[in-house]
């Protein structure tokens, strides 16, 4: 795993023994590798260097303010979905001009804060939201010397082939507007006078493991952009969202270079700024949750390891039935994990459910 490895049977985060961290700060504790975050960000930046690209790290993936601070120092922009996330980004020194604001439920106060900050783009999810943004923008007036910019989030009806809860590009989801309605929306709001509707936004979901949906999304949105420009509308940017998968196991997932190889040729020569919103692909293997074993329990049908971290600390296993490999902080050399696999069970070991202390049957980290 990225910058987490064993040295003489002890797990290290970069050059620090994780068990010593637990002894100093207690458990449960999140431990992050700065080097891994930066490496993952730079791989994406380098992969899309052939285009004018802004990488907007998705704050929802991991909003630790220190992480936001060093990502901002590396030139990252930020994808936010709330006023609280905007506050964190600004406190971390993020450039508001590199902030894109997504989400279907922006409140008036949140929109006003974003207007005052002079963010890069509001990602618009509906006509009702655009009406509200225009109303508030007229009250606020131009900020940073220009009208606020907006990207219309279109729903391309693409099956992302991931968990139903993390698929957001199908027609039946609450996100975006049908791609067929985009041209009418641009026409209807072209002369609103307060908001510059000048970009297209797409976000297909989270946890993807193939580049095909992204290629399909570009192939659907480029003709839309060409059509809008042909009708006299300015479209300066395409925001392709995020959702790139992370390698939670030892199986292969596409790299940033793989995604870019499919996307960049379709956008070359289109005179478009590209915006990407990676989150999990930057942070997923850049941190661990350190937890302490409290008890070993033999149940009627299973054996349990009870730890001091629970679903409140790591929700994905119980919410998405997601797999996260569990690394012992110390392990005998004969039992060093050879790979991150849910089927890994070395000879001489027994299978346990790893569960937390919360009074809820869904409180487990692994089964």
Active centre residues (catalytic): 359
Closest CA to 159 of 106, 212, 86, 115: 212
Using an 8 Å Cβ cutoff, are 318 and 311 in contact? yes
CB 7: neighbour CB atoms within 10 A?
Answer: 9
Task: Report the C-alpha gap between 104 and 112 in whole angstroms.
Answer: 16
């Amino acid at each position: 795993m990225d910058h987490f490895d064993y040295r003489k049977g002890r797990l290290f985060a970069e050059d620090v023994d994780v068990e010593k961290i637990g002894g100093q700060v207690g458990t449960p504790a999140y431990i992050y590798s700065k080097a891994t975050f930066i490496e993952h960000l730079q791989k994406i930046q380098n992969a899309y260097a052939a285009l004018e690209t802004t990488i907007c790290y998705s704050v929802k993936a991991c909003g630790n303010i220190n992480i936001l601070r060093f990502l901002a120092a590396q030139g990252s922009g930020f994808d936010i979905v709330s006023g609280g996330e905007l506050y964190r980004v600004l406190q971390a020194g993020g450039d508001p001009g590199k902030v894109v604001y997504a989400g279907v439920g922006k409140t008036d106060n949140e929109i006003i804060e974003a207007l005052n900050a002079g963010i890069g783009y509001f990602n618009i999810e509906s006509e009702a939201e655009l009406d509200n943004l225009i109303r508030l923008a007229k009250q606020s007036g131009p900020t940073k010397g220009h009208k606020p910019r907006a990207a219309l989030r279109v729903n391309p009806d693409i099956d992302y082939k991931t968990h139903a809860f993390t698929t957001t590009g199908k027609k039946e989801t609450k996100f975006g507007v049908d791609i067929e309605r985009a041209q009418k929306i641009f026409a209807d709001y072209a002369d609103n006078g307060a908001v510059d509707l000048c970009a297209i936004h797409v976000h297909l979901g989270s946890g993807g493991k193939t580049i095909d949906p992204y290629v399909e999304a570009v192939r659907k949105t480029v003709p839309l952009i060409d059509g809008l420009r042909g009708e006299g509308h300015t479209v300066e940017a395409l925001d392709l969202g995020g959702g790139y998968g992370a390698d939670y196991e030892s199986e292969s997932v596409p790299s940033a270079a793989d995604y870019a190889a499919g996307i960049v040729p379709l956008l070359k020569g289109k005179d478009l700024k590209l915006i990407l919103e990676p989150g999990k692909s930057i942070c997923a293997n850049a941190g661990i949750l350190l937890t302490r074993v409290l008890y070993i329990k033999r149940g009627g049908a299973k054996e349990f390891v009870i730890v001091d971290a629970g679903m409140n600390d790591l929700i994905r296993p119980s919410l998405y039935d997601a797999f996260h490999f569990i690394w012992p902080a110390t392990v005998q050399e004969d039992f060093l994990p050879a790979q991150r696999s849910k089927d890994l069970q070395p000879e001489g070991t027994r299978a346990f459910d790893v569960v937390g202390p919360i009074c809820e049957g869904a409180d487990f980290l692994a089964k």
